[in-house]
Amino acid sequence: MLVLLIAALALACVTVLRPFLAPLAWSLVLCYVTWPVYRVLRRPFGRHRSVAALAMVLLVTAALVLPALWLIMSIGDEGRIVFKALSTAATNGRPLPQSLRSIPWLGDELQRQVAHWRAEPAQIGREISDWMRRSTLRITGVLGRVGRGASQLLITLMTAFFVYRDAGTLARSARRTLDRLAGTRLDPYLAVATTTTRAVAYGLVVTAFAQGLVAGLGYWMIGVEGATLLGALTGVLSVVPVLGTSLVWGSVALYLIAAGHAWRGIALLAWGMLAVHPTDNLIRPLLISNIAKIPFLPTFFGVIGGIAAFGLIGAIIGPVVLAVALAVWRDWIERDPAAP
């Protein structure tokens, strides 16, 4: 009866915490990666752990959120400039600016659309209304995803505050719980999980540096001003879910195209998609494989398959799960007395 009650309680806990599992996992990864920085930041605060934890959360927020907001606002400003140019050309009978007309493929299509609107001015309002009516569900879905992402980020940062503050207590409680359940039998597998998690965390940092370096090289070759700063922003935003580095190189490429440097913008888009973005899927499995001492192929499958199964957090969960499973398999084989 006690076993049934414990199983029912565990199932109820999982059901209640299910919406928060991804933010909880991200908060643990975030704290694990930034823990060396927190140890340095905590010293001036002495025993004031809450103040130190709050300062660290504010620092992480500034490092992750502010660059993304700045880039989003920049994209909005460029979009308004393009929309104003199209509206002016359609209503005043002026041709499109040379910067827009010179865009390969898209420039001619925009000019034909402006000519169509110029012939029938009332068509603009009707087409916008039809587009808004067709896109209502899509816009609602996008806003919903943005809202969910913002709420998950808020939960992640709030959880990170308590993890920073109470890390020692949490670690001791987890150790005692495992000792009560299985004694020392799980220690080898916990060591594998810890090593793999550390490798994934280091891979996250090194991959961010590598993506920033590759992106900065692309900005320099294209001749973009502030290539170093943009490369640093690319590296910082490489940890942002879904969009990540494309927030930077994609925005810069679109700006170059809108400013009349079409081929430079297209070259930067190609560099981002072919060089910057794939860096994450190549360097991270190699680092995890070398640090955790597990074969490259299971690590690669763990990263890609984990993302497919669990979302972005699967890039961490996948390699850890396969590493522990591989350790259990090896241990089972070595304990077989009939093995050669």
Q: In this prediction, what percent of the chain has a pLDDT beyond 90?
A: 3
Q: Do 231 and 89 have their domain in common?
A: no
Inter-axis angle of helices 262-271 and 187-222, to 10 degrees? 160
pLDDT at 285 over 60: yes
What is the structure's pLDDT at 252? 83
CA distance 230 to 249: 8
Q: Do 163 and 185 have their domain in common?
A: no
Structural domains counted in the chain: 2
> Residues 18-76: pLDDT tens digits?
888 888 888 888 888 788 888 888 888 888 888 989 999 998 888 777 766 666 666 55
Q: Which of 121, 144, 167 is the last residue of a domain?
A: 167
Q: Do 240 and 154 have their domain in common?
A: no
Range of the domain at 108: 21-167
Q: Do 161 and 196 have their domain in common?
A: no
Q: Is residue 7 part of a domain?
A: no
Given a contact cutoff of 8 angstroms between Cβ atoms, the answer to whether 56 and 41 are in contact is yes
Q: Is residue 44 part of a domain?
A: yes
Residue 292's pLDDT band (cuts 50, 70, 90): confident
Say which residue, 182 or 199, is predicted with more confidence. Answer: 199
Q: What is the mean pLDDT of the chain?
A: 76
What's the whole-number mean pLDDT along residues 232-246?
A: 71
Q: Do 196 and 264 have their domain in common?
A: yes
Rg (CA), the chain: 26
What is the structure's pLDDT at 26? 83
> Residues 95-136: pLDDT tens digits?
555 555 555 555 666 666 666 666 555 555 566 556 555 555
Q: Do 204 and 299 have their domain in common?
A: yes
Q: Do 282 and 213 have their domain in common?
A: yes
Q: Is residue 3 part of a domain?
A: no
What is the structure's pLDDT at 73? 66
pTM of the model: 0.62
pLDDT at 310 over 70: yes
Q: Do 293 and 235 have their domain in common?
A: yes
Q: Do 141 and 252 have their domain in common?
A: no
pLDDT at 85 over 70: no
